[in-house]
Structure 1
Amino acid sequence: MHRALELAALGPVVGDHARVGAVVLAPDGQVLGEGWHRGAGTAHAEVDAMSHVAPELLRGATAVVTLEPCNHTGRTGPCAVALMEAGVARVVYAIDDPGAHAHGGADRLRAAGVDVVSGVLADQAEQFLERWLLSVRLGRPWITVKWASSLDGRAAAADGTSKWITGAAARQHVHEQRAAHDAILVGTGTVLADDPSLTARGDAGELLAEQPLPVVLGDRVVPEDAALRRHPRGVVVLPGHDLDRSLRHLRELGVHSVLVEGGPTIASAFIAAGLVDEYLLYLAPVLIGGPRVALGDLGVGSISERRRLDVASTTSLGPDLLVRARPARARGAEGAQNDRSMP
C-alpha cells in the first residue's frame, strides 16, 4: 500500500479525478504490475496495473489499491467488474469511495466471491486525498485563501500600491500554488483595480503547463479588454455574492480546489462564512501602516469569538515568510465557528 500511494502521487494534481495508485501481486507476494490514474478519461489505476500483467497471471492475484474500486460506468467501465473478470482473488484498499455513483465496488466484489480487505493505511490515504475527498463529501471545492502582507498586516500602502510587498521567491511560490489548484478566484473589484492575468507562470514569465480556471465573483462587468479575457482557459463569471451557490456551481464544473486570491473583501467573506480549508500567508519583513489591511470584518465582535488557526508549517522564501495554516481542530465556543459544511 505504501508503494500504491507513491504511484498515486505520479498522477496529475489538478483535474476532475482522484489520484489513485495500484499494485498487483502474485500469490507468493511477487509484484506483477503497477499502475496509476493519469487523469480524467484514462484507465483507472487498477486497470492500468493489470494491463502490464499477462492475463493468465491475474487469476488468483491480489490487487492493492489506494481507493475502493469504482462501481459505475463513466468515461471508463467499473473497476470492480474489470477485477472480477480478470479473476483477481483478493482486493485490498485503503479508503471507501465517497462518491454516490462510484461507491459500492467492494460490496460487488464480495458478492462475486472476491476476498476484500479495507482500511489499510487509511489515515495516510485520507491525508493524501484530502482535497478530493472533501469536495466529494461536501459538494464544494477545497478552498485555499492566500494573501501577501507586511508584518503589520497591510496589503497595500495608503495610496493603494502593492507591487511588490513580497520578493521574487514568494511570488514564484504563488504561481506554483496557482498551478496546483483547479481554479483561481477573485472578485470584480480586483479585476477592475489590478487587471490581473491570473495565469501560472515560471521564472522567465512563461506559462506553466497547468493553468487554473480563472473565476470572477461579483456583479460588475469584466471589461472586454481585461487581461483575463486572454487567459488560455477562458474565464468563468459568477454573478452575485452567494458563496454557497457559486461553489456548488464550480463543483459541478469539475473543480475540486480553488485558490482565492481576491482582495480583503472577498477573502474576509470566505473566512466569515467558515468556508476556508487552508491559508497561505506570505509575510514580508516590512512595516507599512495605514488603512489598507489584509482582512476586513470577519464578524468577530469580541476576543472570545476570535478565529483560531493551527499553523501547519512556516517556510522561508528569500526574505519573506510563508505561514501555512488551517482552521483550528478544537471544538467548543472558539472552535465550532471555524467549521461550516454546505447543505
Structure 2
Amino acid sequence: MRRAVDLARRGPAHGPNPRVGCVILAGDTPGAPAEQGAPGGRGETQRAVLGEGWHRGAGTSHAEVAALADARGRGADVRGATAVVTLEPCDHTGRTGPCSIALLEAGIGRVVISVPDPNVAATGGADRLRSAGVDVVEGLLEEQGIEVLGAWFPALERGRPFVTLKLASSLDGRVAAADGTSRWITSDVARAHAHRLRAEVDAIAVGTGTVLADDPSLTARTASGELTEHQPLRVVVGLRDVPSGARLHGPGGELVHVRTHDPAEVLAVLAAREVRHLLVEGGPRLAAAFLRAGLVDEVHAYVAPVLLGSGLTAVADLGITTIADAVRLVPREVVHLGPDILLVATPTTNVPRTGLPGTAETKEK
C-alpha cells in the first residue's frame, strides 16, 4: 500500500479526479525475492509485483486499469491476484468504465483498499466486488491514503470546493502601504512558492476591487516567468465589470465572473464546474467574506519581516469586538522561504456572517 501511495503522488494534484495508485501482486510465494515495491521482509511471505499504475488525470485510465495494462505488458497472469489500491475502485461509467468491472473481468481474487470512495456517484465498487466473491479488505493505511488525495477528499465529503485562503502581508498585517503600493512585500522566494501553489489548484478567486486596484493576471508561472502547463480558472467575484483591457483577458486560464457577494454562491458555481480546490487570493473584503461564512478550510499566510505601520490590512472587518470571538487557527506547518515565513493553518472557529460589508446582505461600492 505504501508503494501504491507513492504511485498516486505521481498524478496531478488539480482536476476533478483523485490521485490514485494501484499495485497488483501475485499469490503468496514463500521465500521468493520481492520485486521493487513489494511488501514483506526477512522471514515473511513475499509477493511478486505483476503490475503498477496510477491515474494521470481526467480522461485517462484509472489506476486499476493502468496497473492491469502494465501487468499485461509484462506478460503476467493476474487471475487470482491481489489488487492493492489507495481508493475504492469506482463503480460507475464516466469518461472511463467502472474499475470494479475491470477487476472482475481480469479475474482479480482479492482487493485491498485504503480509503472508501466519498463520491456518491462513483462508490459501490467494494460491494460489487464482494457480491461477486472477491475478498475485499478496507482501511489499510487510511491516513496516508487520505493525505495523498489532498483537497479532493474533503471537497467530495462537503459537496463543495476545498477553500485555501492565501494571505501575503507585512509583519504587522498590511498588504499595501498607505499610498496603495504593494509590490513587493514578500520575497521572490515566497512568490515562487505561491506560484507553485497556483499550479496545483483548480481555480483562483479575487474580488472586483483587487482587479481594479492591482490588475492581476492570476496565472501560474515558472521561476523563469513562463506559464505552467496547468492554468487554473481565474474567478472574479463581485458586481462591477472587469475592464476590457485588464490582464485577466490575456493568456492564462479561463475567466469566470461570478456576479455575487455571497461566498456560498461562488462555491456552488465552481462546484458545478467540477472545481475541487479554490485558492482565494484577495482582497481583504473577499477574504473576510469567506471567513465570516465559515468557508475557509485552510490558510496559507506568507509573512515578510517588514513593518508598514499603516495601509490596507490583509483581512477586512470580521465584526469581532472582543478577543473571545477571535478566529482561532491551528498551525500545521511553518516553512522558511528566504527571509519570509509561510504559516499553514486550519481555522477552528467561525464568525457571524450577517449585517457586515461584503456579505450577501450588503453590496460592494
Normalising by structure 1, we get a TM-score of 0.94
* Aligned twin of 1:341: none
Q: CA deviation at 1:201?
A: 1.1
* Aligned twin of 1:112: 132
* Aligned twin of 2:272: 252
* Aligned twin of 1:44: 62
Tell me, yes or no, if structure 1 residue 180 matches structure 2 residue 200. yes
The one-character-per-residue Cα deviations of 1:155-202 (angstroms, maximum 9, x if unpaired) are: 111111111111111111111111111111001111111111111112
Tell me, yes or no, if structure 1 residue 295 matches structure 2 residue 296. no
Q: CA deviation at 1:233?
A: 2.1
Query: How far apart are the structure 2 equivalents of 1:62 and 1:306?
Result: 51
Out of 233, 239, 254, the residue aligned to residue 219 of structure 1 is 239
**SS of 2:335 mapped into structure 1:** strand
Amino acid at match of 1:15: G
Q: CA deviation at 1:213?
A: 1.0
Map 1:84-233; keep pairs closer than 5 Å: 84-233=104-253
Query: How far apart are the structure 2 equivalents of 1:204 and 1:81?
Result: 46
Unaligned runs of 5+ in 1: 329-334, 339-343
Query: How far apart are the structure 2 equivalents of 1:41 and 1:222?
Result: 33
**SS of 1:244 mapped into structure 2:** helix
Normalising by structure 2, we get a TM-score of 0.88
Query: How far apart are the structure 2 equivalents of 1:107 and 1:242?
Result: 40
Q: CA deviation at 1:209?
A: 1.5
CA contact (8 A) 2:294 2:350 kept: no
Query: How far apart are the structure 2 equivalents of 1:88 and 1:291?
Result: 63
**SS of 2:282 mapped into structure 1:** coil
Amino acid at match of 1:4: A
Identical positions, percent: 55
Q: CA deviation at 1:56?
A: 6.5
Q: CA deviation at 1:336?
A: 6.7
**Which moved further from structure 2: 241-250 or 85-94?**
241-250
Query: How far apart are the structure 2 equivalents of 1:149 and 1:337?
Result: 22
Tell me, yes or no, if structure 1 residue 32 matches structure 2 residue 50. yes
Amino acid at match of 1:30: A
* Aligned twin of 1:263: 283
* Aligned twin of 2:7: 7
* Aligned twin of 1:73: 93
Query: How far apart are the structure 2 equivalents of 1:8 and 1:39?
Result: 11
Q: CA deviation at 1:86?
A: 0.6
**SS of 1:58 mapped into structure 2:** coil
Q: List, as ranges, runs of 4+ consecutive aligned residues in structure 1 with deviation greater than 6 Å.
A: none
Query: How far apart are the structure 2 equivalents of 1:236 and 1:110?
Result: 44
CA contact (8 A) 1:37 1:45 kept: yes
Query: How far apart are the structure 1 equivalents of 2:350 and 2:319?
Result: 14
Amino acid at match of 1:7: L
Query: How far apart are the structure 2 equivalents of 1:296 and 1:101?
Result: 39
**SS of 2:151 mapped into structure 1:** helix
